[in-house]
Chains A and B, each alone.
Chain A
Amino acid sequence: EDKVVQSPLSLVVHEGDTVTLNCSYEVTNFRSLLWYKQEKKAPTFLFMLTSSGIEKKSGRLSSILDKKELFSILNITATQTGDSAIYLCAVEASSSNYKLTFGKGTLLTVNP
């Protein structure tokens, strides 16, 4: 059974701090790992990672995948209160109709 574990489950920081969110996984026929940000409603797509060692960046957010050690990290630099959200990690397997298996998420709170 595919499995995704995120850590920490929750995190409280001050504006300007840098945070690292972790995601480890076990999946058969891995195809990709995805990060989503969920505020009040729809999870919104951040990154899709398929290859090891290639960093993806979008503004202050970046992510990298290690397919040998089976984990990914999501970094957020110079955090802002608007970064407060649940960050979801999911894996997609080609053997399971590409459905996503999600971790329980990391609740990030950024205080002013």
Chain B
Amino acid sequence: GAGVSQSPSNKVTEKGKDVELRCDPISGHTALYWYRQSLGQGLEFLIYFQGNSAPDKSGLPSDRFSAERTGGSVSTLTIQRTQQEDSAVYLCASSPGTGRSNQPQHFGDGTRLSIL
């Protein structure tokens, strides 16, 4: 597609359930990033993929959070045993790849996650 695509756009779930969020980056972009935007906070980095590997997971807030990327394309972010503090907008961004000529990250519309 022309831009970064995320699904679902909205997700409401009960505390304790697992959720999966999906990101489809811009075609050909090898770098993929997940961020979280909470009310009153800036965007916070969660995890970075280069191809299928994740050299930087330093932003994942707990071991309930995990992510994978397959085929160098689609990525899923999984949150297990959700808690109310996980409520936020989860944004995905992609770029052509690190080390290349300066190219900005482009963002998807995000998934708004609400934990009841």
Whether A associates with B in a native complex is: yes
Residue numbers of A with Cβ under 8 A of B are 4, 31-32, 34, 36, 41-45, 48, 50, 88, 90, 96-105
How far, in whole Å, are A4 and B45 apart by their CA atoms in the complex? Answer: 13
Q: Least Cβ distance of A68 to chain B in Å? A: 20
Q: Using Cβ atoms and an 8 Å threshold, which residues of chain A touch B31? A: 98
Interface size on B, residues (CB 8 A): 28
Tell me if B71 is interfacial: C-beta within 8 Å of chain A: no
Known contacts A32-B102, A45-B104, A50-B102; A100 and B56 CB within 8 A of each other? no
| Residue contact A45 to B56, C-beta cutoff 8 Å | no
Contact of B43 among A41, A44, A100 (CB under 8 A): A100
How far, in whole Å, are A106 and B13 apart by their CA atoms in the complex? Answer: 31
Q: Using Cβ atoms and an 8 Å threshold, which residues of chain B touch A101? A: 45
Give 1 or 0 for each of B75-114: 1 = CB within 8 Å of chain A CB.
Answer: 0000000000000000101010010001011111110000
Other A-B contacts than A32-B102, A105-B42, 14 sampled, CB-CB below 8 A, are: A4-B42, A34-B105, A42-B91, A43-B91, A43-B107, A45-B104, A96-B56, A97-B50, A98-B98, A99-B33, A99-B45, A100-B45, A102-B43, A103-B42
Q: Using Cβ atoms and an 8 Å threshold, which residues of chain B touch A36? A: 107
